[in-house]
Structure 1
Amino acid sequence: MTAGTRQLSIDGPAGRIDVALDLPAGRPTGVAVIAHPHPLFGGTRDNKVVQTLARALLATGHACWRPNFRGVGETDGAYDEGRGETEDLLAVVAAARAHESVDADAAASLVLAGFSFGSFVQTRVARRLQERGAPARRLVLVGTAASRFPVEPVPPDTLVIHGELDDTVPLKSVLDWARPLELPVVVIPGADHFFHRRLPLIKRLVVEAMADGHPADAAD
């Protein structure tokens, strides 16, 4: 993503997990793990929405970890319908929280972000972390794959962003998932599933959410 992007390999349940790590200019104030779209349909950690999420979270002081799912890049294993991918992300979270670049406060300030299939997996990761007593501080879900996978319930402060004209995951399915949770959904007018020409807006929304609603400079 940047000239300073580090390429890491960490141990996961199915073998090696191929990860890109970006660190902010100063000491990280938090950790972010960002999950990419469906690996069987061309999803990788270098997806433009994933990179946009990483840029936004990097700008807000987070050490950003972008793993490739099983079978993508140099990550071992094969697609596992979200089960193995959940286990792999839990391994990435553990590595991110234990990394030499972060202190205890930053390790506790974890953001889970995901796009499409990655958003579904992150809801599973969030539930597992909550059960372990080490929850994420915030979730950011973009293009949430509610029509395709059993997306878990999420905390009320989760940032959910969806495109009005998404024909891969219809907006109605996301609203149907969010309604019983009384969860707001930020709808981007005119946007499709891949948010063409809307990426700077996604970055701004994430930066502002990380600043607890106070406007911030999110110039691309």
Structure 2
Amino acid sequence: MPEVMFAGPDGRLEGRYHHSKEPGAPVALILHPHPLHGGTMNNRVTYSMYQAFQKLGCSVMRFNFRGVGRSQGRYDGGIGEIGDAAAALDWMQAVNPGHGGLWIAGYSFGAFIGMQLLMRRPEISGWVSVAPPANHYDFGFLAPCPCGGLMLHGDADELVPETAVRKLVDKLNTQKGVHVDYRVIPGADHVFASHADVIADAVDDHCGKAIARKQMALAAD
């Protein structure tokens, strides 16, 4: 997994990138948890999603938001971090012309940033949100949500009540043309201490099926 450094809005950003050998492979960007609470691109859940997308044949990158690791700049309350994610997406699209679809996957704070990016970048074709902090941030901006995706949450999450996430899912599922695949992981808390493999399996199942459907549709055209 080659280390990459790319230009962000507030300095250079550090990432790890895997380039698929398959022409026209899908692209996936992974976003880590809150920078002020120990979140980095090496977080267990972030890394598990990175590996899952890699196994699906995607070109995939995880990176450190500004002020984390070797990424320059300082924490900006979420606004600047959306810009960081957009810069990462720009970099990935530049090195993957003709890609077969674009995925955004985030965990906790990264899920919030990912959904913000989803609303700004219509080319994103699928998303994964793990433990979205629905009780800490207002997700009302998802109106309308551009497309369906996968949402994962633990029923023992001590920071974000499962009921708050279910309320968000129910609201999204009332929107026309949007279906959220919501999976509650029994016994999992907010850090998914012993459930990272369950998250990887869910990503493999949901995203693998979606990628296969798109490939079949393209082949039929």
Question: TM-score, length-normalised on structure 1?
Answer: 0.86
Matching of residue 202 in structure 1 with residue 202 in structure 2: no
Kindly tell me: are residues 161 and 192 of structure 1, through their superposed partners in 2, closer, same or farther at Cα, counting changes over 3 Å? Answer: same
* RMSD (Å) for aligned C-alpha atoms: 1.8
For 1:128 and 1:81, locate their aligned partners in 2 and report how far apart those are by CA, in whole Å: 18
The corresponding residue for 1:145 is 133
Matching of residue 81 in structure 1 with residue 77 in structure 2: yes
Matching of residue 166 in structure 1 with residue 183 in structure 2: no
Letter in 2 for 1:79: Y
Letter in 1 for 2:115: T
* Structure 1 unmatched runs, 5+: 216-220
Letter in 1 for 2:99: D
Partner of residue 169 from structure 2, selected from 142, 156, 178: 178
Q: Is the 8 A contact 1:28 1:63 kept in 2?
A: no
For 2:113 and 2:57, locate their aligned partners in 1 and report how far apart those are by CA, in whole Å: 24
- Deviation readout 1:2-47 (Å, 9 max, x if unpaired): xxx1111111110111111123454461111100000000000000
* Structure 2 unmatched runs, 5+: 174-179, 213-221
- Deviation readout 1:163-197 (Å, 9 max, x if unpaired): 00001111111112222112442100111111122
Letter in 2 for 1:138: G
Number of residue pairs matched?
A: 203
For 1:14 and 1:98, locate their aligned partners in 2 and report how far apart those are by CA, in whole Å: 20
For 2:199 and 2:46, locate their aligned partners in 1 and report how far apart those are by CA, in whole Å: 11
Question: TM-score, length-normalised on structure 2?
Answer: 0.86
Identity of aligned residues (%): 32
Letter in 1 for 2:8: G
Letter in 2 for 1:11: A
The corresponding residue for 2:50 is 54
Q: Is the 8 A contact 1:39 1:69 kept in 2?
A: yes
Matching of residue 192 in structure 1 with residue 189 in structure 2: yes
Matching of residue 36 in structure 1 with residue 32 in structure 2: yes
Partner of residue 118 from structure 1, selected from 110, 120, 132: 110
